[in-house]
Amino acid sequence: MTEIAVRSGGQAGDGIASIGEAIARGYSRMGLHVFGFNAYQSVIRGGHVWYQARTGDARPYSQGDGADVLYALDKQTVDVHAASLRPGGTLVYDKEKFEVGDLPAGVTALSVPTLEIARKYTSQSILQNAAGLGAAAFLGGIPLDILHQVLADSFGRKAGDVVTWNLGASAAGYEFASKNARVHPHAPKKAGAPKLLMNGNQAIALGAAAAGCKFLAQYPMTPASSIMHWMAAHATEVGVVVKQAEDELGAINMAIGASFGGVRAMTATSGGGFALMVEALGMAGMTETPVVVVESQRSGPSTGLPTKTEQGDLNLMLGAGQSEFPRAILAPSNPAEAYRAMILAFQLAEDWQTPVLVAADLHLSESHMTVDRDEIDLNVDVPSLFTVDPNGHDYKRYQYTDSGVSPRALPGQPGLNFIAGSDEHDEKGHLVSDVRSGIPVWVAERQRMMDKRMKKLHGLAAHCEPPAFEGPHDADLTFVAWGSTVGAVRDAMPMLAARGKTTNLLRFPTVYPLDLTTVTQAFAKTHRTLLVEENFSGQFGRLLRAETGIHVTDRLLKYDGEPFYPYEIVSRAMEMMNRGG
Amino acid sequence: MGTPLPVVGKSEIKPTWCPGCGDFGVVAAVESALKRLQIPSHNVVIVSGIGCSSNLPHFLSSYGFHGIHGRVLPVAEGIRWANHSLTVIGTGGDGDGFGIGVGHFVHAMRRNVDLTYVTMDNQIYGLTTGQASPTSTMGQKTKSTPRGVIENPIDPIALALASGATYVSRGFSGDVKQLTDLVAGGIQHKGFALVDVFSPCVTYNKINTFDFFRQRVYKLESAGHDPSNIVTAWQRALEWGDKIPVGLFYKTEKPTYEDLEEVLAPGPLVLQPAGVKGKERLLDEFV
């Protein structure tokens, strides 16, 4: 892959994300596939943040391994990132702000008079960003007219002067760079119609709306909050009630109430909030009330690293809730998959009347990726939830059936009144937990009702997305991955191919339940395997072993808060394959 | 057609409460209030948490949701927002509502969600066999406080006034007639209605008994209290001791959460179209 990565860095509050997104959107408007990586800290002002937009002649699935253009708004950015600049790369800075020392071989420094350009328009120094952005866009091969469209659109309805200044300053930066530097040799050309650029959380919210979700209750927590932000901003347009709850206990109980009341409902949170939702998750399982829960993981334990990624909550998601009830855990790896996963999640929750979890993580939630328009199908059929015939006699909400799924009535339907009970109950929903408990006939009833609920797990397993191979058949090495980690593996495979190594990927879009036959058959097609997971103990590997007896002994695990970089996967794979055996 | 749809009555399940439990009076009052208002039973949802009193939904013929401890109100709110044509009644005890669930209690009131919350307040944890509750009296000896409670009790009426509830009342399960009026008034009230009920535990609370309350309660309506006056409502709320007021402390009209939630303006969410078919403009922001 011939690629180019444009990185910008500075302090929180400097507008780094805006600069980075403008570059990313510039490329997506050129019809190119882009990966936009937003690295930030848990501070509102100060600290160090950076954004990298990566594109090329193939679709990038991760942030990649280096940078070709680096726009440094402060000295710290140079200190932290100069080493990432590849030969042929350019550092954009302003010597009025700071001087730079030695740079890696083959890297050029370009001082752009960003402050001087900004002063021509305003005393507000933030305008320097536009000048630097213009220079970076030139070096990265983004035409000025496209950059200007992106900027004009991003300012939208704001005052005219601000737009004019930004267009002027970015043009000046662009022109300065064009006179004093050359476009990077890897700069791409326009490739076709604009692509859609979105982050995982936007895709999740959009997917939920498309799936017919009518109610979202949520409590703010990074990195899940922007699901609520998107939905709230579009609430009237998509007809979704968005409720910021008093806490995560409230959020999930509201969602379950709304679902019981007759609408498709969801909540979203990160690990800490999900820990608070655990008891209610079991209530959804016991009352057989559909609910979709998005768990966007971040580095833990406890508060952990709030703005850094991890896949460390799989054990929690698997075990959340006392005793046992059926659940599914879906694990999309990028926005396009997340969109489809939400549609499937709502379908599964509704069909099997049980909670469905969508395991996201910060790297998926907050990284930008392009999707093609045809990857986002908004025309999803959303059937009515009123399925039970109101003229039915002797209605039993928890009737025993072959599939374990019982006919579900909604409050307001005459003649079907029932009680949903979090206590163990009989087919009508009446308690078997107090005066009936321990009496032989009701002991048997309890076991039968438990069997009925757990039966749904088979149905779920049959309707979840099975594990899938990507890449060549009969590869020397097969990567085993789930969730956002899949992205770096996808980028590593062609790098390994370029080194003469044949690898493929066995991706798990569903991490639970796992169908024994399907998984066993998949592993029968592998030679050597390498588990790639973003957690300390290889939680998915452990699950795989517990559920199927398959033990992936080679593991590449990471838990430093940073996403996998393709080179890390490449070097481990090379080491394994060179070792032979 | 022609046959009126049934209103709420007793279900086929008999209450399992101890003989003489205060909760019998409460379930009787809820049933008669719903009968008086002639709301068809399929349009009523009674939500509860965990505790002796939270078994109440099983004993009536409406829809019911018997959830987990302390989460009555968020479930009830979710049901209201999914379908605000339903009559939603939350029921539960003092531990459920003022202990583990007190956070939800305060927030549901400040939202003025249009539902009725009937708390069966026996000032003790009964189902777990007699520990102190958030409304237990200072000094009261229980299994968990053998040397006496050393915390001040929560005052649900004052908390409701402070939190913005728009219908604040207190009943006594020894007076089912007044309690029926209070519950019916709460259901008819547009907004959050609290009916906090002295509902004595005959097994584990030997202090706050039926006799204890019979000797002390007096009716606000007989004392000339004006429930539209927030200042005198506060004064009455603070009364405790030899004379304890029951009745309607405060009532005011304010927009409900459902009134103010724009998405609900076209009608109950459950009847609105779902999905985004044809709304291609949603993708414009991503270009």
* Best to test chain A binding among B27, B48, B71 (most A CBs inside 10 Å): B71
**Pairing of β B116-121 and β B87-93:** parallel
Give the pLDDT of residue B2: 55
SS3 state of residue B226 = coil
DSSP B141-168: --SS-TT---SPPP-HHHHHHHHT-SEE
| Residue closest to A94 by CA, chosen among A127, A128, A124 | A128
- Chain A residues touching B62 at Cβ < 8 A: 417
* Best to test chain A binding among B3, B75, B87, B269 (most A CBs inside 10 Å): B75
B274 and A213: CB-CB below 8 Å?
yes
Q: Which residue in the set B43, B64, B274 is minimally distant from A264, CB to CB?
A: B274
Give A231's Cβ-side CA count (13 Å radius): 33
pLDDT tens-digit profile of A115-160? 999 999 999 999 999 999 999 999 999 999 999 999 999 887 666 8
SS3 state of residue A123 = coil
Q: What are the start-end ranges of the H helices in A239-387?
A: 248-261, 271-287, 314-319, 335-352, 362-366
* Phi, psi (rounded to 5 degrees) for B205: -120, 100
Q: Are B74 and B105 in contact (CB under 8 A)?
A: no
The CATH 3.40.920.10 domain(s) of chain A lie at 3-194
A262 and B83: CB-CB below 8 Å?
yes
Query: Measuring CA to CA, how many Å separate A34 from each of A49, A191, A563, B253?
Result: 19, 12, 17, 54
pLDDT tens-digit profile of B222-278? 999 999 999 999 999 999 999 999 999 999 999 999 999 999 999 999 999 999 999
Instruction: Please give the Cα distance from B33 to B30 (Å, whole number).
Output: 5
What's the predicted TM-score (pTM) here? 0.97
Q: Which residue in the set B75, B77, B275 is minimally distant from A212, CB to CB?
A: B275
Q: Are B29 and B183 in contact (CB under 8 A)?
A: yes
| Class level of CATH domain A198-375 | alpha beta
pLDDT tens-digit profile of A64-80? 999 999 999 999 999 99
Give B206's Cβ-side CA count (13 Å radius): 3
Residue B138 above 60 pLDDT?
yes
| B172 and A CB contact within 8 Å | no
Residue B1 above 70 pLDDT?
no
Give the pLDDT of residue A393: 76
Q: Are B41 and B6 in contact (CB under 8 A)?
A: yes
Query: Measuring CA to CA, how many Å separate A233 from each of A163, A241, A477, B287?
Result: 23, 11, 45, 17
| Class level of CATH domain A468-579 | alpha beta
pLDDT tens-digit profile of A273-326? 999 999 999 999 999 999 999 999 999 999 999 999 999 999 999 999 999 999
What part of B 67-86 touches A (C-beta under 8 Å)? 67-68, 70-71, 74-83, 85-86
Counting Cβ atoms within 10 Å, is residue A451 exposed (0-12), middle (13-18) or buried (19+)?
A: exposed
Give the pLDDT of residue A579: 85
| Residue closest to A470 by CA, chosen among A487, A498, A484, A490 | A490
Residue A101's contacts (CB-CB under 8 Å, 6 or more residues apart) are none
- Chain B residues touching A196 at Cβ < 8 A: 283, 286-287
* A366 dihedral zone (left: phi>0; alpha: psi -120 to 50; beta): alpha
Give the pLDDT of residue B221: 96
Tell me if the bond preceding A223 is cis, omega within 30° of 0: yes
B76 and A257: CB-CB below 8 Å?
yes
Q: Which residue has the tokens 């800075």?
A: A93
Average pLDDT, chain B: 97
Q: Are B193 and B256 in contact (CB under 8 A)?
A: no
Q: Which residue has the tokens 């089912």?
A: B176
**Pairing of β B44-48 and β A528-533:** unpaired
- Chain B residues touching A242 at Cβ < 8 A: 263
What domains sit in chain B, N to C, each tagged with a CATH number?
23-286 (3.40.50.970)
Give the pLDDT of residue A159: 66
A210 and B76: CB-CB below 8 Å?
no
Residue B3 above 50 pLDDT?
yes
B81 and A279: CB-CB below 8 Å?
no
pLDDT tens-digit profile of A515-535? 999 999 999 999 999 999 999
- Provide the percentage of residues in chain A whose pLDDT is more than 70: 99
Instruction: Please give the Cα distance from A465 to A461 (Å, whole number).
Output: 8
| Residue closest to B157 by CA, chosen among B239, B59, B216 | B239
Residue B212 above 70 pLDDT?
yes
Of the listed ranges A36-50, A327-341, A368-382, A468-482, the one predicted with least confidence? A36-50
- Provide the percentage of residues in chain A whose pLDDT is more than 90: 93
Q: Tell which wins on pLDDT, A533 or A44.
A: A533
Kindly report each contact of residues B142-151 with a partner whose C-beta sits within 8 Å and lies 24 or more positions away, as own/partner.
B142/B204
ipTM: 0.98
Q: Are A311 and A535 in contact (CB under 8 A)?
A: yes
First-to-last CA distance in chain A? 30
The CATH 3.40.50.970 domain(s) of chain A lie at 198-375
B78 and A430: CB-CB below 8 Å?
no
| B20 and A CB contact within 8 Å | no
SS3 state of residue B236 = helix
| Residue closest to A361 by CA, chosen among A317, A272, A299 | A299
| B284 and A CB contact within 8 Å | no
| B99 and A CB contact within 8 Å | no
| Residue closest to A255 by CA, chosen among A313, A298, A207, A294 | A294
The H or E element spanning position A449 is helix A440-463
* Phi, psi (rounded to 5 degrees) for A482: -145, 155
Query: Measuring CA to CA, how many Å separate B98 from each of A76, B104, B105, B156, B236?
Result: 52, 9, 7, 7, 20
A260 and B79: CB-CB below 8 Å?
yes
A420 and B66: CB-CB below 8 Å?
yes
Q: Are A260 and A254 in contact (CB under 8 A)?
A: no
Residue in A closest to B52 by C-alpha: A434
A422 and B286: CB-CB below 8 Å?
no
How many other β-carbons are positioned within 10 Å of the β-carbon of residue B230? 12
Lookup: tokens for A37: 């990586």
| B128 and A CB contact within 8 Å | no
**Size (chain B), residues:** 287
The H or E element spanning position A266 is strand A264-269
Which residues on adjacent β-strands are paired with residue A489? none
Residue in A closest to B12 by C-alpha: A430
The whole-angstrom distance between B47's CA and the closest CA on chain A is 9
> In which band, very low, low, confident or very high, does the pLDDT at A30 lie, cut at 50, 70 and 90?
very high
Lookup: tokens for A453: 């609920």
A378 and B50: CB-CB below 8 Å?
no
A3-194 fold: Pyruvate-ferredoxin Oxidoreductase; domain 3 (3.40.920)
Cα A260 vs. chain centroid, distance in angstroms? 28
DSSP A168-233: HHHHHHHHHHHHHS---TTPPPP-SSPPEEEEHHHHHHHHHHHTTEEEEEE---TTTHHHHHHHHH
Instruction: Please give the Cα distance from B194 to B199 (Å, whole number).
Output: 15
Cα A361 vs. chain centroid, distance in angstroms? 5
